[in-house]
């Protein structure tokens, strides 16, 4: 499974890139707003850190506006910039046009298997089911991921599933067990994935025992 970081903070992105595990980045307007930076400057810097899909979201609500924004963003890095298109009828129209122009898309704010099916049929490169936000309203978010994996498998749909709105390490384990293509993970959850108390205890014990080895 590919691992993306869900962040627009270049310090976090550089740090995780140095771990050797990072395949891409997802941003959204809320994440960019948190950085306090101008969006084009921020996204351009991210493209220089990570050589993989980097999602940036359009804000237009009509297909023509989305396509125009997408074409502008694609100039920043034609290979890696991926356009986040919100799930809607206008969004589907934009995905179809952008697929014809070889501009990568990530249909975002997906909350049902039907939305995922339609986005794939329209030609989306990626779709992002938001599992945490479903959990927040008492639906099992990961359930729709299982459904989408099965539906895409049934029909050989090649759109990649990005498990998004990840809130904890168990979301990532479930995503990998279910065969999702990607998880996009916040920095704090990535750090939680590394940690295990028995690892810390083991490191300390080996260090302490090393001190007991007679030295020449």
- Residues making contact with ligand E4P (CB under 6 A): 6, 26, 28, 108, 128, 130, 132-133, 164-165, 184
- Closer of 34 and 204 to ligand E4P (Cβ): 34
Q: Minimum Å distance from CB 184 to ligand E4P?
A: 5
Q: Minimum Å distance from CB 206 to ligand E4P?
A: 37
User: Which one-letter DSSP state was computed for residue 164?
Assistant: B
Contacts of 161 (CB under 8 A, 6+ apart): 116, 126, 127, 129, 145, 148, 149, 152, 180, 181, 182
C-alpha 58, offset from chain centre: 16
- Closer of 7 and 17 to ligand E4P (Cβ): 7
Query: Tokens 């479903």 label which residue?
Result: 134
Would residue 84 show up in a list of annotated catalytic residues for this protein? yes
Give 40-109 as a DSSP string.
HHHHHHHHHH--S-EEEE---SSHHHHHHHHHHHHTT-TTTEEEEEESSHHHHHHHHHHHHTT-EEEEEE
- Closer of 109 and 122 to ligand E4P (Cβ): 109
72's tokens: 């502008």
Q: Minimum Å distance from CB 112 to ligand E4P?
A: 16
Q: Minimum Å distance from CB 161 to ligand E4P?
A: 12
Contacts of 25 (CB under 8 A, 6+ apart): 4, 5, 6, 7, 13, 46, 50, 52, 53, 54, 55
90's tokens: 């206008």
The active-site residue out of 40, 84, 93, 96 is: 84
Report the sign of the C-alpha dihedral through residues 37, 41, 42, 45, in that order. Answer: negative
Q: Minimum Å distance from CB 68 to ligand E4P?
A: 22
- Closer of 113 and 186 to ligand E4P (Cβ): 186
- Closer of 170 and 203 to ligand E4P (Cβ): 170
Catalytic positions are 84
């Amino acid at each position: 499974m590919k691992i993306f970081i869900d962040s627009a903070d270049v310090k976090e992105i550089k740090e995780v890139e140095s771990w050797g595990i990072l395949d891409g980045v997802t941003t959204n307007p809320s994440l960019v707003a948190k950085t306090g930076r101008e969006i084009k400057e921020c996204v351009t810097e991210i493209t220089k850190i990570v050589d993989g899909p980097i999602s940036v979201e359009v804000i237009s609500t009509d297909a023509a506006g989305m396509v125009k924004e997408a074409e502008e963003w694609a100039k920043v890095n034609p290979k890696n910039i991926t356009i986040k298109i919100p799930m809607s009828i206008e969004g589907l129209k934009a995905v179809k046009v952008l697929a014809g122009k070889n501009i990568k898309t990530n249909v975002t704010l997906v909350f049902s298997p039907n939305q995922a099916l339609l986005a794939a049929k329209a030609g989306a490169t990626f779709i992002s089911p938001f599992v945490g936000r479903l959990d927040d309203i008492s639906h099992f978010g990961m359930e729709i991921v299982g459904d989408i994996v099965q539906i895409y498998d049934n029909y050989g749909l090649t759109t990649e599933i990005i498990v998004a709105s990840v809130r904890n390490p168990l979301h990532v384990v479930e995503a990998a067990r279910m065969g999702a293509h990607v998880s996009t993970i916040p920095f704090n959850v990535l750090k939680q994935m590394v940690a295990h108390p028995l690892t810390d205890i083991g490191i300390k014990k080996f260090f302490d025992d090393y001190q007991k080895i007679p030295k020449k």
